[in-house]
Every structure is written in structure tokens, then in C-alpha cells.
Amino acid sequence: MLASVGDGALSMREVHRFPNEPVRVGGTLYWDILALYRGVLAGLRAAGRETGGRLAGVGIDSWAVDYGLLDASGALLGNPVHYRDGRTEGMAERVARRLPPAELYAATGIQHLPFNTVYQLAAERDVPRLAAARRLLLIPDLIAYWLTGEAGTELTNASTTQLIDPRTGDWSPRVAEAAGVDLGLFAPLRRPGDPAGTLLPEVLAETGLTGPVPVTAVGSHDTASAVAGVPAEGDRFAYIATGTWSLAGVELPAPVLGEDSRRANFTNELGVDGTVRYLRNIMGLWLLQECLRHWAAAGTPYELGPLLAEAARAPALRSVVDAGDPEFIAPGGMPDRIAAACRRTGQPEPRDAAETVRCVLDSLALAHRAAVADARRLSGRAVDVVHIVGGGAHNELLCQLTADACGLPVVAGPAEAAALGNVMVQAGAAGAVPGGLAHARGLLRATQPLRHHEPSGDTAVWERAAARLTGGRD
Ligand code: LFR
């Protein structure tokens, strides 16, 4: 994404897009990290073509928790493993034997997800490459290292390792010790807005850019950038960053670390400008993406637009699944797994693709409703409006269902909130948008097209649908 910002103006557009296609080999699911790096270089080249080779800065964000290991010479030891790989099975139990879940939560505030970095490292414990490793770099830090030669660990993403104490913003030696993690593997912490080096001569040569091009640490966790890119006014808002995942919650000045919060599986990820992203992970449009992938592989490719239109006409809330259930994390066979979940809870199976999609969207809206309600209850934060950002902001049906389910107005957009939040932090560091998050959000409101959805219908139908998943229990 190439952005231009300053003097109260902001524009941004896509100059290059490349696919992210994981590869399964030898029973392990990997990221194709060099293909991604090649895409990054092609993107820089495309950006430079539009600016005469000059860029005022570069910021990098990506998904969280995953990492590359480097040897003493700085060479990458194998491809980073995908968090959806099955290697973390049983690891939470292993770590829990040394550190009870309540203590782990009180120390880190991070929700239990089977793929948190701490569990990935536990899974890797007896793998020779971990013994050979001298450095661990989270994905955006790895890309930054290749671009600049400088190694750092950006804090918002570091918090998703489940090794950071959110009160101090520093590593928790106690958690690391109990989980058997060597904190010496991590490069020094840096915060959004900190300088992160300049593009290496070889990168300038590859991309046709003219140096120096500074790299700035941003909210390198895509969700940190997306929340920075929420065009909210004041603090009485909830956000849902919807893409492959739905990340739903509120922005707070301090973490919430109580036992109620742990039981509700809320996380306290660190955000831009010293904020806390108090949220819950919900399966998100992954459920839909995986259905589409399955149908296409089975010889029935669907076009998304017409399928969504049909889903909008399908019976509402006929069946719902628990969109927070880790059973949906792994890829493969998604329509059947959704049907099986409907059967298990005594609901009718979807009869066709449109009904499956309707089930997915109703289930996401239901999970959004629960997350927003729990975030309000557990944090005490008042919420007047729900902002939906990320790719899902384009999905009008999902946005309307979410407004209906929450009984709150929804403001949809921008879809590219992560890229905009990334740019806002760079612009703040460069002095082009002074005044922190509140000011940057004002600029977003003034420049980005937003869509409004008013809630309709009775929220009691959503309550009844939720009861089907819990068998009437709370
Ligand atoms: C969203 C996201 C989520 C994180 C998941 C795995 O892209 O970064 O915040 O929980 O991916 O890294």
C-alpha cells in the first residue's frame, strides 16, 4: 500500500498484491516466507515506480504469534511453521503442569489460544533447530531484519507470544522459565514509532529505490494496526477487525487480568500509544474462505457476490455454530465440519451452499454480539457504537447482522484499516500527524468513506439462538 499523508490530507492505494499460500510438506504446514518476502520487494518496487524511487518511510505488519529462527550467522533455520499446524496439540497441558492457567493469565493477560508462541516453542523443545537457534524473530520483525539488517522485537506483536507482562510492557522471566523459553533468543524490544533501521543497499538495488529509506516500527501485529485504524471518536466504542479472524473488543488504558476475564477468554494484547486491546478471537471469515476453497476443490467454484446475495435470502438463524470453537482452527473439510457442529447441537444441517454461508454469517454475528457484551461487562467500558474494520467491512450482510445482533449501530470501514493504522504510526513518528491516536482517527474520519448500519429486529431472537449452543446454560 502506498500512502501519502500531511497537511490534513491522507490518501492511500494498493500498488501490488500477492497471494499468501501456505505449503504442507512432510506432515507440517509452513508459511512460504521467501515467496512473501519476494512479494514485499515487488511491492516496494511498484511503490517506487510511482514516486520516482523515493519513499519517506516503510512500516511492516503481519499476523501474530509465528516466528522464524536464525542461526549464529543470521541465516534462517527452516521455514516458519504455520500457527494452524497441529504441532501444538497437548502443549497447553504440558505448560499448565509447570504454570497453572490462572497464574499464566494473571502474568500475561493473554487469552488461551492453542497456537500462542509459548505453546509453539514448547512443541519445538526437542527439535534440533531450536538448539541451533540464536535468534527468534516474529514474522514482521523477520521481514524488517531482511530489509534492514537490524533485529528487534516489536512490542504489540511480542505481547501475543504470551511471554510479556502487560503491566510493565516487558518480558515475564517467570513465565519464560516455567515454559522453558530462553528469552535470550529475542532481539531487544521496540515500540510503535521507534526507528527500525534503513533499507539495505541490496534492497535499494533490488527495488530501484533511492536511499536512505527509513523503516519505522509500527503496530507490527496487524490487529494492533487495524485498531489504530478504527475511525472512532472518543472512547465509547467497540471494534471488530474482521478478516480471516474477527477480533472483537474494546480499547483500554490498562489490562483486565481477573479470573472472570480469563474464563471469558479475553486477551490483553498491547496496542499502539500504550493502549490495551481487550478482545476475543473469533474464527472470522476463515470459515467462509475455507468453505469456498473446499467447494472449488470439489469442482463447484462459487462467486462470492451471488452466493452472499443468496445467503441474504436464506432463512435467518436456522442453525448456528460456536464461532469461537478451536475445532475450526485447522484447514480442510469446513462445510462438513459446520454440518457436524449443527448436528451435535441438535440443529438442522444447512441444505446447500447458501444456507452454509448464512449459518457462518449468523454464527459470526452471534459471536460478535457475545464478545461486545462480554467486553462491556468485564471492562466496565460504555459502548455506543461498533466499528467494523478490515476486509469484512465490505460484507454488508455481515455488518447488518452484527448491528442486529448487538442491538447497536455499526460503522463499517475502512477495509484497509491495518494499512491505514500502520501509516498513521509512521506519520506520527515523522511529525506529519502530531497528536497521537485521537488525532489520527480524526483524519481517518475526515478522509475515509464509511457505511452506517442501524440495528433492526428484536435482539431476543439472537439470545434464543445463543441458547441453542449452550443447551440453555449461560
Ligand atoms: C489476525 C491475527 C490475529 C491473531 C491471528 C494469528 O490476522 O493477527 O490477531 O490472533 O492472526 O496470528
Dihedrals phi, psi of 197, to nearest 5 degrees: 100, -175
Give the Cα separation of 171 and 108 in Å (integer): 9
Q: Is residue 359 within 8 Å of residue 350, measured between CB atoms?
A: yes
Ligand 1 atom nearest to 241, measured from its CA:
1
Dihedrals phi, psi of 238, to nearest 5 degrees: -110, 160
Mutate to test the pocket of ligand 1, among 240, 247, 289 (most ligand atoms within 8 A of CB): 247
Residue 473 pLDDT: 53
ipTM of the complex: 0.98
222 is known as an active-site residue = yes
Dihedrals phi, psi of 255, to nearest 5 degrees: -70, 160
Residue 259 pLDDT: 97
Ligand 1 atom nearest to 66, measured from its CA:
12
Residue 471 pLDDT: 72
Instruction: State the distance from the centre of ligand 1 to the C-alpha of 65, rounded, in angstroms.
Output: 7
Indicate the pairing of strand 189-190 with strand 153-154.
parallel
Q: How far is the CA of 134 from the CAs of 69, 80, 147, in angstroms?
A: 7, 15, 19
Residue 472 pLDDT: 52
Instruction: State the distance from the centre of ligand 1 to the C-alpha of 236, rounded, in angstroms.
Output: 24
Cell of 24: 504442507
Residue nearest to atom 12 of ligand 1 (CA): 64
Mutate to test the pocket of ligand 1, among 81, 117, 222 (most ligand atoms within 8 A of CB): 222
Residue nearest to atom 1 of ligand 1 (CA): 63
Instruction: State the distance from the centre of ligand 1 to the C-alpha of 144, rounded, in angstroms.
Output: 19
One of 165, 222, 362, 404 is an active-site residue; which one? 222
The residue among 331, 250, 249, 248 whose CA lies nearest residue 282 is 248
Domains with residue ranges and CATH for the chain: 2-216 (3.30.420.40), 230-413+450-474 (3.30.420.40)
Give the Cα separation of 193 and 79 in Å (integer): 29
Q: pLDDT tens digits for the chain (474 residues)?
A: 999 998 889 999 999 999 999 999 999 999 999 999 999 999 999 999 999 999 999 999 999 999 999 999 999 999 999 999 999 999 999 999 999 999 999 999 999 999 999 999 999 999 999 999 999 999 999 999 999 999 999 999 999 999 999 999 999 999 999 999 999 999 999 999 999 999 999 999 999 999 999 999 999 999 999 999 999 999 999 999 999 999 999 999 999 999 999 999 999 999 999 999 999 999 999 999 999 999 999 999 999 999 999 999 999 999 999 999 999 999 999 999 999 999 999 999 999 999 999 999 999 999 999 999 999 999 999 999 999 999 999 999 999 999 999 999 999 999 999 999 999 999 999 999 988 999 999 999 999 999 999 999 999 999 999 999 987 554
* Residues facing 137 on adjacent strands: 68
Instruction: State the distance from the centre of ligand 1 to the C-alpha of 460, rounded, in angstroms.
Output: 31
Mutate to test the pocket of ligand 1, among 223, 239, 283, 328 (most ligand atoms within 8 A of CB): 223
Ligand 1 atom nearest to 247, measured from its CA:
9
* Residues facing 190 on adjacent strands: 154
Give the Cα separation of 393 and 448 in Å (integer): 13
Q: Enumerate residues lining ligand 1, CB below 6 A.
A: 63-65, 83, 221-223, 244-245, 247, 281
Give the Cα separation of 82 and 80 in Å (integer): 7
Calculate the CA 248 to chain-centre distance. 10
Residue nearest to atom 6 of ligand 1 (CA): 64
Side chain identity at 448, as an amino acid letter?
Answer: Q
Residue nearest to atom 8 of ligand 1 (CA): 63
Residue nearest to atom 4 of ligand 1 (CA): 64
* Residues facing 170 on adjacent strands: 165
Instruction: State the distance from the centre of ligand 1 to the C-alpha of 64, rounded, in angstroms.
Output: 5
